[in-house]
């Protein structure tokens, strides 16, 4: 029996508003998958040099990343050398792909190498110039015409097919992330699409099976991941986020961006509460909400006239894309909102009204330890990164073709079965 081994896992979320680092340790079988994640370090720093998910000033980005990492290291008592890192921004794109191979065994039994070959075949897509594959995720397998197969290993057949969801990003964006992390002293175990990482932290297996959409509202962009029958069916980026709400408040109230951000954050405490209709009670001085300036304003006007229109725009853009993908009618589990933007007042109500589906705010789950520090939708992506890392074999073990299926040669088939079950519940 393999000897249990403690493994350190870290997730670094490169957001447009903040850099978040989460450190956890877990116990796993030698060279195997991790479990029992215990969060031991959490930290954030102001994001500089990153705009809408892309590196725009490497030096500033490096300083922000180091600040976040060092604060998390001090809390955890560990020094980081590697981490799972988020990848977002308008440069990220996706598409679905199909692969097919002949089963190699003369007796027709499908083995792990057949699965690897068919996924490799599906990945042989024509990408635009200067783009790279980030994820090749199996949605379902087909064995001799039998659809809906979750794990084909051990089945008999002649022809093996796979439907996959492919996420790609610009080569330049990937290299820029690699460079700044290298300068910060971090080896990247894997880059993970922000929407995919957040999904790991906040979605339940049942929601994925029935059909749902994860909407991760960041500062500069909104990442979306839709699940049908337990598998990722669509993913995309909306080029606006909660910083747009801040900008709207600054313009509408004629405040500085700093004061507008304080007002937005302060108003979040009214989330879920009915705005009082009495004129005297509805009036509030923005200085009470954290603004440096002093000015009286109606909370109802503030929320209904400035904040919700921008939220409605975000959810309308999400719904339009889901309509194009023919998925709007296939998400009975509804919309799960994550990211720092989920804390904006009126967010849940706007999503429910615009999208016409059940809606909830997604908070991280599946970890123990410093729970109070991460039980906030703003930490969905960094927590999701460590959960993603816990379900993968580290890069230090024998890497294989598929990013998501890093398999060691020892126990190859067994590990593949475990990971496929995790991917396709």
Based on the fold, state whether residues 150 and 278 are members of the same structural domain.
Answer: no
pLDDT score, position 286: 76
Helix axes 242-253, 308-324, angle to 10 degrees: 150
Q: Please check whether residue 215 lies inside any domain of the structure.
A: no
* % residues pLDDT > 70 (the chain): 86
What domain count does the chain have? 3
pLDDT score, position 34: 53
Render pLDDT for 98-143 as a digit per residue (tens, 0 to 9). Answer: 999 999 999 999 999 999 999 999 998 888 889 999 999 999 999 9
Q: Please check whether residue 280 lies inside any domain of the structure.
A: yes
Six token digits for residue 19: 């850099």
Based on the fold, state whether residues 266 and 295 are members of the same structural domain.
Answer: yes
Based on the fold, state whether residues 10 and 68 are members of the same structural domain.
Answer: yes
Instruction: Show the domain range for 242.
Output: 238-361
Q: Please check whether residue 212 lies inside any domain of the structure.
A: no
Q: Please check whether residue 347 lies inside any domain of the structure.
A: yes
Distance from C-alpha of 387 to C-alpha of 21, rounded to nearest angstrom: 13
Distance from C-alpha of 308 to C-alpha of 247, rounded to nearest angstrom: 13
Average pLDDT over residues 346-371: 94
Torsion angle of alpha carbons 217, 222, 226, 231, nearest 10°?
-90
Based on the fold, state whether residues 271 and 197 are members of the same structural domain.
Answer: no
**Backbone phi, then psi, for 126, in 5-degree steps?**
-90, 110
Q: Assign residue 16 the CATH number of its domain.
A: 3.30.420.40
Based on the fold, state whether residues 326 and 415 are members of the same structural domain.
Answer: no
Based on the fold, state whether residues 260 and 286 are members of the same structural domain.
Answer: yes
Render pLDDT for 299-330 as a digit per residue (tens, 0 to 9). Answer: 888 899 999 999 999 999 999 999 999 999 99
Six token digits for residue 199: 């999904």
Render pLDDT for 333-346 as a digit per residue (tens, 0 to 9). Answer: 999 999 999 999 99
Strand partners of residue 296: 285
339 in Cβ contact with 16 (< 8 Å): no
Torsion angle of alpha carbons 98, 84, 153, 422, nearest 10°?
-100
pLDDT score, position 304: 92
Based on the fold, state whether residues 330 and 269 are members of the same structural domain.
Answer: yes
pLDDT score, position 391: 86
Based on the fold, state whether residues 194 and 50 are members of the same structural domain.
Answer: yes
User: Domain end: 323, 342, 361, which one?
Assistant: 361
Based on the fold, state whether residues 47 and 177 are members of the same structural domain.
Answer: yes
Q: Please check whether residue 368 lies inside any domain of the structure.
A: yes
Based on the fold, state whether residues 66 and 200 are members of the same structural domain.
Answer: yes
Q: For residue 286, give the 3-state DSSP assignment.
A: coil
Q: What is the pTM of this model?
A: 0.88
Work out the pLDDT band at 356, boundaries 50, 70, 90: very high
């Amino acid at each position: 029996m393999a000897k249990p081994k403690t493994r350190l896992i870290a997730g670094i979320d490169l957001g447009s508003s903040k850099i978040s680092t989460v450190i956890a340790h877990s116990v796993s079988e030698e060279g195997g998958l991790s479990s029992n994640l215990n969060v031991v370090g959490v930290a954030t720093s102001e994001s500089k040099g990153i705009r809408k998910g892309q590196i725009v000033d490497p030096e500033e980005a490096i300083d922000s990343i180091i600040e976040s990492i060092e604060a998390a290291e001090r809390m955890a008592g560990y020094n980081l050398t590697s981490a799972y890192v988020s990848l977002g921004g308008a440069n990220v794109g996706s598409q679905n792909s199909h692969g097919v191979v002949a089963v190699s065994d003369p007796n027709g039994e499908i083995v792990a190498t057949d699965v690897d070959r068919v996924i490799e075949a599906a990945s042989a897509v024509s990408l635009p110039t200067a783009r790279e594959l980030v994820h090749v995720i199996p949605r379902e397998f087909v064995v001799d015409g039998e659809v809906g197969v979750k794990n084909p290993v051990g089945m008999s057949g002649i022809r093996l097919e796979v439907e996959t969801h492919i996420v790609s990003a610009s080569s330049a964006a990937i290299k820029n992330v690699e460079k700044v992390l290298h300068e910060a002293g971090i080896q990247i175990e894997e880059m993970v699409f922000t929407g995919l990482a957040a999904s790991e932290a906040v979605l339940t297996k049942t929601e994925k099976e029935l059909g749902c959409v994860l909407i991760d509202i960041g500062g500069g962009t909104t990442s979306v991941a839709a699940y049908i029958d337990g598998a990722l069916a669509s993913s995309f980026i909306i080029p606006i986020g909660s910083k747009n709400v801040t900008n709207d408040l600054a313009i509408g109230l004629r405040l500085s961006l700093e004061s507008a951000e304080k007002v937005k954050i302060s108003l979040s405490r009214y989330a879920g509460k009915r705005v009082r209709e009495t004129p005297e009670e509805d009036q509030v001085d923005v200085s009470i909400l954290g603004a440096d300036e002093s000015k009286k304003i109606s909370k109802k006007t503030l929320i209904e006239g400035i904040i919700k229109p921008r939220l409605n725009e975000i959810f309308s853009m999400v719904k339009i894309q889901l309509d194009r993908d023919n998925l709007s009618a296939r998400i009975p589990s509804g919309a799960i909102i994550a990211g720092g933007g989920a804390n904006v007042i009126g967010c849940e109500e706007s999503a429910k009204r615009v999208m016409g589906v059940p809606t909830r705010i997604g908070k991280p789950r599946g970890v123990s330890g410093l729970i109070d520090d991460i039980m906030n939708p703003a930490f969905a992506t960094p927590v999701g990164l460590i959960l993603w890392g816990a379900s993968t074999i580290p890069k230090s073990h024998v890497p294989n073709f598929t990013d998501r299926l890093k398999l060691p040669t020892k126990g190859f088939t067994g590990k593949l079965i475990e990971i496929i079950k995790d991917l396709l519940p």
